[in-house]
Amino acid sequence: MTTVEQSRRTRRPPARASATSCRRPGPTGCARTSQLDLGTYYDAEQPDYPIGMVPFRGDPRYSALDAGMQRRILAAAWINYNEKTISVEKSIVAPACELLLCGAFRGVETSVFKRTIAQTTVDEQYHVLMCLEACLVARERHQLESLRIPKSLVVSELERELAS
C-alpha cells in the first residue's frame, strides 16, 4: 500500500502519534513495540477504495444501489486489494528474499546486498501488517467479517508451476 493509498483511506495521525517506539535503536531503525489504532483515523465519509479504479462504477445496477451498499462494495474491493497484496508478499516476495539471503544465486553474497535484502524482508513484513490492519478495520466498519477472498491468480499459477 502506497502512502497515497494510505492517506486516502485514513486521516493522518498527529505527528506525535507513532506505531513505532524504540527500546534500543539499531543501525537500521527501531522495532515496533506499540499498536496504532487505525480505526481512530478512519474517515467514514471517504470511500474505502478509489471509485475511479472500479470498472463497473458507471453501471446502472451499481448506481442504483443505496450509498451504504456501494460503500460495502468498495470496502470489499479494498479488502481484496490488501489480501492479494498479503498473498503475493507471503508466497512470492518472502521466498525470493529467503533464496537471496541463503546465497542461492551467484554474485549476491556481499554484505551490502545481504543487509539490503534483510531490510527488504523486514519492510515487506511490515507492509503485510499494514495491509492486514487495513483489512481488519474495513471488515469491522462494514460488517464484512465473513467475506472470503479467493486465492490470487498469480499465486495459484505459481503453485501450479511449482507442483509440476
Query: Quick count: other Cβ atoms within 10 Å of Cβ 49?
Result: 22
Angstrom distance (rounded) from CA 85 to CA 77: 12
State pTM to two decimals. 0.75
Task: Report DSSP state, residue 93.
Answer: I
Which is more confident, 44 or 145?
A: 145
Q: 11-32, pLDDT tens digit by residue? A: 444 343 444 444 445 555 555 5
Segment 64-97, tens digit of pLDDT: 999 999 999 999 999 999 999 999 999 999 999 9
Task: Please tell me the number of Cα atoms within 13 Å of 139 on its side-chain side.
Answer: 15
- What would the pLDDT profile of 103-136 be if each residue is shown by its tens digit? 898 888 899 999 999 999 999 999 999 999 999 9
**Contact in structure between 7 and 46 (CB atoms under 8 Å):** no
Note the helical H segments in 58-164: 60-63, 67-88, 94-101, 111-141, 153-163
Domain boundaries, the chain: 38-163
Asked whether 16 and 29 are in contact (CB, 8 A), the reply is no
CB 115 within 8 A of CB 26: no
Q: Does domain 38-163 have CATH number 1.10.620.20?
A: yes
Q: How confident is the model at residue 100 (pLDDT cuts 50, 70, 90)?
A: very high
How far apart CA 141 and CA 71 sit, in angstroms, is 10
- Grid cell 490492519 — which residue? 133
What per-residue confidence (pLDDT) applies to 3?
A: 44
Is the pLDDT assigned to residue 162 strictly greater than 60?
A: yes
